[in-house]
Amino acid sequence: MLWTSATKLGGAAFSGTLDDMSLFRDEKDVVHIAPLQVQGIASVTMPNICEVNGTASTDVTYRCVRCLTECTRSLDIVIHEVLSRTPLTAAQEEADVFYAPEETIDLEPLIEQALVLAIEVQPLCRDDCRGLCSECGTDLNVSTCVCHVQQVDPRLQALSRFYDVSKTEE
Ligand SMILES: [Zn+2]
Ligand SMILES: [Zn+2]
Whether 38 and 87 map to the same domain: the answer is: yes
Residue pLDDT, tens place only, 43-85: 999 999 999 999 999 999 999 999 999 999 999 999 999 999 9
Q: Which ligand is nearest to the CA of 142?
A: 1
Q: Is residue 22 part of a domain?
A: yes
Q: Which ligand is nearest to the CA of 148?
A: 2
Count CB-CB contacts under 10 A for residue 32: 14
Report the Cα–Cα distance between both ends of the chain, in Å, rounded: 71
Q: What is the mean pLDDT of residues 90-105?
A: 92
Distance from Cα 161 to the centre of ligand 2, integer Å: 22
CA distances from 52 to 5, 41, 80 (A): 13, 6, 6
Q: pLDDT band at residue 31, thresholds of 50, 70 and 90?
A: very high
Distance from Cα 132 to the centre of ligand 1, integer Å: 8
Q: Is residue 113 part of a domain?
A: yes
Distance from Cα 140 to the centre of ligand 1, integer Å: 9
Residue of 161 and 4 predicted with greater confidence: 4
Q: What is the total count of domains within the chain?
A: 2
Task: Specify the pTM.
Answer: 0.75
Distance from Cα 28 to the centre of ligand 2, integer Å: 24
Which 3 state secondary structure label does DSSP give 163? helix
Distance from Cα 165 to the centre of ligand 2, integer Å: 24
Whether 155 and 96 map to the same domain: the answer is: no
Distance from Cα 159 to the centre of ligand 2, integer Å: 24
Whether 102 and 170 map to the same domain: the answer is: no
Residue pLDDT, tens place only, 138-159: 999 999 888 865 555 555 555 5
Q: Which ligand is nearest to the CA of 65?
A: 1
Distance from Cα 133 to the centre of ligand 2, integer Å: 5
SS3 of 37-69:
EEEEEEEEEECCEEEEEEEEEEEEEEECCCCCC
Question: Do 105 and 83 touch, CB atoms closer than 8 A?
Answer: yes
Which 3 state secondary structure label does DSSP give 63? strand
Count CB-CB contacts under 10 A for residue 36: 22
Which 3 state secondary structure label does DSSP give 155? helix
Please give the backbone phi and psi of residue 30, each rounded to the nearest 5 degrees, phi first. Answer: -110, 110
* Domain with 24 in it: 3-118
Contact partners, residue 59, CB within 8 Å, separation at least 6: 33, 34, 72, 73, 74, 75
Q: Is residue 78 part of a domain?
A: yes
